[in-house]
Structure 1
């Protein structure tokens, strides 16, 4: 796919090519649905513990991916994703959160970042937008889960603000990748959602949605997140956007819009 920043590393996951070309490149990627142990409708590399799949199969899938990316499972950190904009700085003591049990994931949090090595940040998806943050000079990585609610709550700009205010990272030192998610052509929303979008967009050249009639719109969540990141001060040439659609690419990805009872992919990033 032309200019696609996410490339298939192996059948289990994709990696972000531009991040790998930067200094101090992290372990970073997005899992596919292939080559796991789960059975239909979660076949086969389901990494979500919350979707009524068999727990031992999900843990087996996580261990398989951990082996593939050479990042031990006890160094992973998951949060309880609630479609909000809360960001948490993750430290050594958080390692293992949410890896074997849902109830010990970091509560009420959709964004995480760390300045420490040997911690793998992880979050789960089946159409929402994964946002990856990386500052090679300041050795800082982050993840954010951006459904429409998190997007209009500005979870992306919130991460940027925290890095700038709390970590003293200059905006020009931050790179962001916007990962595989549902495409505009497959993401129909109503006027309620678009009103929320209009509340946060300040640009007169909004390209994030188009009306299709009968109080229905097609929303481009990737484009909306990109616009918000640019407005937050990130250079456009530091933002890499995937063309891959979780709804269309049925062989590669789970999709909640395509099939509600389904598995979850995982975004991940960490420094070694």
Structure 2
């Protein structure tokens, strides 16, 4: 069988920025072990697979190691693929996912994703993670992911991870967010995943399900502009809506190809 593979850079307005995701349209679901092998072969943080169900698109996300419950950048990439490459007619896309129905509204070249809110609460950080950080956080919280709050953007940019210590814990399916108030935006972040083939995720939409309500409350504002200050950099336009958040961004198609499974 021949399958089409789209690679798209999400949360960016230029190629080689943001977070690369692969998108694979399917007529019917492949076995999970095959989808995991495809994701591993693609060697990006997330591969999205989707099956059209009429008014909805059934969407699943796989890292090279596991199936994820929620992924922002691969959802944005899939919406971009549908609208710009596959001639999807509606400007509202409904994705059926493990995290419930996710609506994406397309406005010109921007994709507005309606996601669940995951407010983090105070928690204790595992010793192996704490020891792995060259700069210690001033606050520790947790929802799906640990949220480590720092003094300023400079600290976020200068954080280094001792991977041997960091990988002593498995947070499946979560990770570790580091965040602070931004110099030229409302807040900045970076995202790290223990025991993953890709240690630092370039731009993490799902992490903002926790970052948006946290910073909305801390800064007393509903509309926020965020930067994920990885090497590739990502831009996210955010809105706190109580039990939901809106995460908006742009995307660029990098490549279109085919692969074969015997």
TM-score range, shorter chain: under 0.3
| TM-score, normalised with respect to structure 2 | 0.27
| TM-score, normalised with respect to structure 1 | 0.26
Higher strand content, 1 or 2: 2
Higher helix content, 1 or 2: 1
